[in-house]
Amino acid sequence: MALSLKKKKRRPDPRTSQDIRAERLRYREAASAPMDLPFLLLTLLLTAMGLVMVLSASFPSAYYEEEGNGAYFFIRQCIFAALGLVVMFILSRMNYQSLRNTGKGLMIFALMLLVLVIIPGNPIAITENGATRWLGIKGTILRGQPSEVAKIAVVVFFSATISKKREKMQTWKHGIWPYVAVLLIISGLMMLEPHLSGTILIVCTGLVLMIVGGIKGWLVPVGIGGVAAAGVLYVYLVLNGTIEYGAGRVISWLNPFNTDYYRSIGWQSAQCQIAIGSGGLLGVGLGKGRQKFLYLPEEHNDCIFAVICEELGLVGACVVMLVFALLILRGFWIALHARDRFGALLVVGFMTLTGLQTFLNIAVVTGLVPTTGISLPFFSYGGTALLCQLAEMGIVLSVSRQMPAPENG
């Protein structure tokens, strides 16, 4: 019996060469369209305001620690701001569709960095304040946080894969378990550093993308209720004495001036509240704050919002929060008008990261939540963070270039 082997015919592309050329031309024209000017201006405004506040907040500690060079941290931040703006401009000119195929590779790279930072005895792993979160050469500008790369990787990977699944996001096999597994792996690695605030940001952003991507509706209130219940239960068990980990933070959060913790865990919260109260309505004046003179810890980093409140007052703090709100709202507006599902998810992811990080930082500084290490986007000192934040804004601007033009009439 003769067997006839037939080659499987390749499914012909219904499009003609002219159609393909026309489609490529449309994408090229869309990518060269003007970017969203309000979003760009708000990003530049926040970056400029952040640089001014870094100079003001860091001058005393830089003068004391760097042998009279009060502009030490400011100069380093300016270098990363310049690099970040260049990266933002380059990414804004690129077609964001090219990121579709980079999600998996970017995620693997981020996981490799997270593993590398927790390897015992790693000479390029940097430990500060009891946490090993950095890779690079200590004391130099050549250092960075793998968690910042992980944030971008999660947004790009989740957006690329969720945008293809559509109805499959309603199933546990395709819409729940794969993404929960990724979030659990990343959370586990980051908690080994440990890095609680970064873990919260990544997990919450991933969950938001899953919700926007179309998971079953009843899972949303169940998930939110579960997280809230877990938080309340944790606080109760800490106050009850059942759990000892983090007990000092919770007690000092409830009363920062508690005599048992005031000189240790409660010092940061207490000094933040003193700085905020000293600012009053209009502040003591830019550069004239007193708490930054070696009283307030992390004054140019996690606690820079307290310096803003002291020097610019309630009015200045409200202006800063208003600019953040306008940036985030404009970002979600871009997501609503994005050309496709992938672009919308990218913008939602990056805006969720920015909004949640801003809220948590302000909540920690003002005493709304227990103290944890989390920076204020665009303001806090940190080269890797600023570079990655501006890169994220560049991707958002790239999506804005391809928004469909409004119809006339």
Task: Supply the pLDDT for residue 25.
Answer: 67
Provide the residue count of the chain.
Answer: 409
Per-residue confidence band for 239, with pLDDT thresholds at 50, 70 and 90: low
Q: How confident is the model at residue 242 (pLDDT cuts 50, 70, 90)?
A: low
How far, in Å, CA of 136 to CA of 126, rounded? 7
Classified as helix, coil or strand, 125 is strand
Alpha-carbon distance of 315 to 258, in angstroms, equals 30
Angle at the Cα of 181 from the Cα atoms of 180 and 182, rounded to 5 degrees: 90
The ranges assigned to domains in the chain are: 45-77+246-343+354-404, 94-214
Write out pLDDT tens, residues 29-48. 666 678 999 999 999 999 99
Q: Are 32 and 401 in contact (CB under 8 A)?
A: yes
**Beta carbons within 10 angstroms of residue 343's beta carbon:** 26
CA 169 to CA 219: how far, in whole Å? 12
The pLDDT > 70 percentage for the chain reads: 83
pTM, two decimals, is 0.87
**Dist. CA 99–CA 106, nearest whole Å:** 10
Cα-based angle 37, 39, 43 (whole degrees, multiple of 5): 115
Name the band, by pLDDT with cuts 50, 70 and 90, for residue 219. low
Radius of gyration of the chain (CA): 24
The two counts, helices (H) then strands (E), for the chain are: 14, 3
CA 246 to chain centroid:
24
Structure tokens at 195: 């890095």
Among the residue ranges 75-79, 130-134, 293-297, the one predicted with the least confidence is: 130-134
